[in-house]
Amino acid sequence: MQVAVYGLGYIGLPTAAVFAAEGNRVHGVDINKNLVDAINSGTLSHPEPGLDELVNASVKSDRLRASVTPAAADVHLVSVPTPLDEEFSTDLAFVFSAIDSICSVLEAGNIIILESTCPVGTSERVLDYIREARPELWAGGKPLISIAYCPERVIPGNILSELTQNVRIVGGVDEASGHRAAAVLRQALGVEVVITSSRVAELAKVTENTYRDVNIAFANELAMVCEDVGINAKELISVANLHPRVNILNPSCGVGGHCIPVSPWILMGSTNHETKLIRAARSVDNQRRNFVADKVLSIVTPALEMDADVRVAILGVTYKADSSDCRNSAAMALASAVSDRWNNRVDIYDHLAIDHSAQLKILREELTVATLLKRNIGIVILLVPHQGYRQIAKDAEKSGAVYVDFS
């Protein structure tokens, strides 16, 4: 099977590599020439575990090639970004740019699978767009191509495994499209596939992430209530969760990543309904960042003003534990707020973080208690509990440092 993957980012490249590993001929397309060259030359350096090796093996076997231009294929898979604009509306420019590229090589019988997170109705818009661009691909009022929506359900750090393990939802713009796309995924990935309509599949993606955002918002708001009444939030939640039908999440310093802070806006943008609860949850999770920043500064400021030699260590700035991904990281925003106030007296540690913004100086050395003590760290603030970080913070506390856990 000839497969073309448009967008070789966090999802597209692993998908292309897995398809190639299963024996398909894959043509990857991306506008980033440096990335294309790195893939083709075997010099790719990607944070996702195991991806470099899988990509290099597929390139070496000639099952995967990357390019900035499209190519004919049986299946065209779109996995490009869908960022939010300043008004939190979904920008589909990358999606329709990819569709333009596909239209230049599209043939009767081809299958187009959209994976990008999109508002409800996007697959139908793509169908109408192609009909206008390539009317010869219609006969008797019916398309000679298939279009389906299939949201990804993977997490950075375990993408390769989850691509071949997680149940997939496939929604076709018509019944035949759904079944044809499902057959592709079953053959290439060996996964269980549930077939539905394109609209259900599109809404399912943003619903899953919005569900998590709402539940995280409850935990974070509860933590702020506990702060106000002088109760340990984690102790309260552990007691409340003893109820057989209660499962409150742990609070954190805020919501980050590419999906959870973004999907609620895409869901809200798909409907004219007021979505008061979802909007309120977004507000709570955004406020949590400011609440924690104010709390951290209220602890740090008096200590640093009192002692001109003491320093602060912030542990972890990625959006989640044991990940290198810093996109929309609440911890990164908090670290920036503290660093902006106390600049040269704050050390930020994260051996995993890959931050392309260059806004912060991040220390990526191996973190030890000895390192903290040597640098006269008097306050340790845990934001992201990468493996080993919590124990190091506790050990530093035993040595006299103040330990604050917002993870």
Cα 268 from Cα 193, distance rounded (Å):
27
One-letter amino acid for residue 310 of the chain: V
**Pick from 111, 105, 114: which is nearest to 82 by CA?**
114
User: Hey, which residues are catalytic here?
Assistant: 205, 259
DSSP alpha helix (H) spans, 46-190: 51-60, 93-103, 122-133, 159-163, 175-189
Phi, psi of 312 (to 5 degrees): -115, 140
One-letter amino acid for residue 250 of the chain: N
Phi, psi of 227 (to 5 degrees): -60, -40
What 3-state class would DSSP assign to 258? coil
Task: Please state, as a whole number, how many other Cβ atoms lie within 10 Å of the Cβ of residue 309.
Answer: 8
Task: Please state, as a whole number, how many other Cβ atoms lie within 10 Å of the Cβ of residue 391.
Answer: 11
Task: Please state, as a whole number, how many other Cβ atoms lie within 10 Å of the Cβ of residue 244.
Answer: 6
Contacts of 152 (CB under 8 A, 6+ apart): 11, 15, 79, 115, 163
Beta-bridged to residue 143, according to DSSP, are 138
Among positive and negative, which fits the CA dihedral 392, 397, 399, 401? Answer: positive
What 3-state class would DSSP assign to 310? coil
| Cβ–Cβ < 8 Å for 30, 15 | no
114 sits in which H/E element:
strand 111-114
Would you state the structure tokens that stand for residue 45, as one six-digit string?
A: 């350096």
| Cβ–Cβ < 8 Å for 382, 404 | yes
